[in-house]
Amino acid sequence: MKSILTAIIFLLVLGAVGAVFRIVNAIRRRQKRQRLRRVTDMQSDLSPARELPSPNESDRPAGSRFLWGLVDLARLETLLSAADVSIPAERMATLALIAGLLGFFAVLAVARNFFGALLAMVLGIALPLIVLLYRRRQRDEALVRQLPEALDMIVRALRVGQSVDNALKEVGRAVPAPLGAEIQTIYEEMSLGIPFTAALQNFEARFARLADVKLMTTAFIIQRETGGNLTRVLANLSDLIRERDTLKRQVRAMTAEGRSSAFILGILPFAVGIVFWMVQPAYIQMLFSHPAGRKLLLAAGMLEVAGFAVMKLMTRLDA
């Protein structure tokens, strides 16, 4: 009976994967047409740029609304761009789904445990997202570290008589990625006819989660609209960003012990469970086979999440 049920589930999954690929191809063709229309609109419209709209539900092919209703492709595409991963959002969602299905059937074939297979499926789907979030965090930290030096270079260029456009061009060439590439993008957008304020707003939209980037773009926009001593403003902003970074490093140093304790206490139950699974599998099997064991396993998972949240709050220092 179990083998028949497994075969039926396998066939259903294969059909779902085939439907996913057909829908992905349809979405990709439609988005290509939309990108062409957007490029044409950007070149013809020189008014202040607005955030480009993402495909509406009505723009997606029939049958994809329910499937992608659980996955926000616009946010996923933004995350991929922020993590500097050149993979379409549809393909990443499909790969995550395939990874989850492979984990599901691998655990189901080896351990013959449905709940363990579901857990492996969730982990397989979440793993690519965790990697993307980690890459985005590393890229954001690198960009913030580069901001003070880039602002100092802009200040020096302005003091010798260069314009803001030329200063951005030189900084984009001199500063390495990721900030150098972003400043180069700002200059290229301005070369295409997009207003300076709009190019800065696009840069801010790509890093809306970073307060330092918002401070930088706000300083440029206010100076462009109202005037003022831009070199002095940027010099003060550079010092402010350095002080903020120093404070963050001090906070991380002061909370290092608490974060290490939280990590060890969070990993310890999983490590003990793996050891018991290798030594006495019957002890761990009861958590998946017995109804009371399943309830205890669910309660343990909820307590793990709550413990991580509490330790996160205890080691956080609000400015």
Q: Show the tokens assigned to 69.
A: 């209703």
In this prediction, residue 139 carries a pLDDT of 92
CA distance 16 to 9: 10
91-100: average pLDDT: 86
Number of Cβ within a 10 Å radius of residue 213: 23
26-40, 54-68, 183-197, 220-234: range with highest mean pLDDT: 183-197
Bigger pLDDT: 119 or 217?
217
189-213: average pLDDT: 89
φ and ψ of 305, to 5 deg: -60, -45
Predicted confidence (pLDDT) at residue 87 exceeds the cutoff of 90: no
Which amino acid does the sequence have at 50? R
In this prediction, residue 31 carries a pLDDT of 56
280-296: average pLDDT: 83
Rounded percentage of the chain residues whose pLDDT exceeds 90:
21
Span 142-196, pLDDT tens digits:
999 999 999 999 999 999 988 888 998 999 999 998 999 999 999 999 989 899 8
CA distance 77 to 35: 14
Q: What's the mean per-residue pLDDT of the chain?
A: 78
Domain ranges of the chain: 2-47+58-136, 139-254, 256-314
CATH architecture type of domain 139-254: Up-down Bundle (1.20)
CA distances from 86 to 90, 92, 203, 256, 262 (A): 12, 10, 18, 34, 34
Predicted confidence (pLDDT) at residue 117 exceeds the cutoff of 70: yes
In this prediction, residue 57 carries a pLDDT of 41
Q: Show the tokens assigned to 28.
A: 């990709």
Kindly indicate the confidence band of residue 59, based on its pLDDT and cuts at 50, 70 and 90: very low
In this prediction, residue 291 carries a pLDDT of 86
In this prediction, residue 183 carries a pLDDT of 92
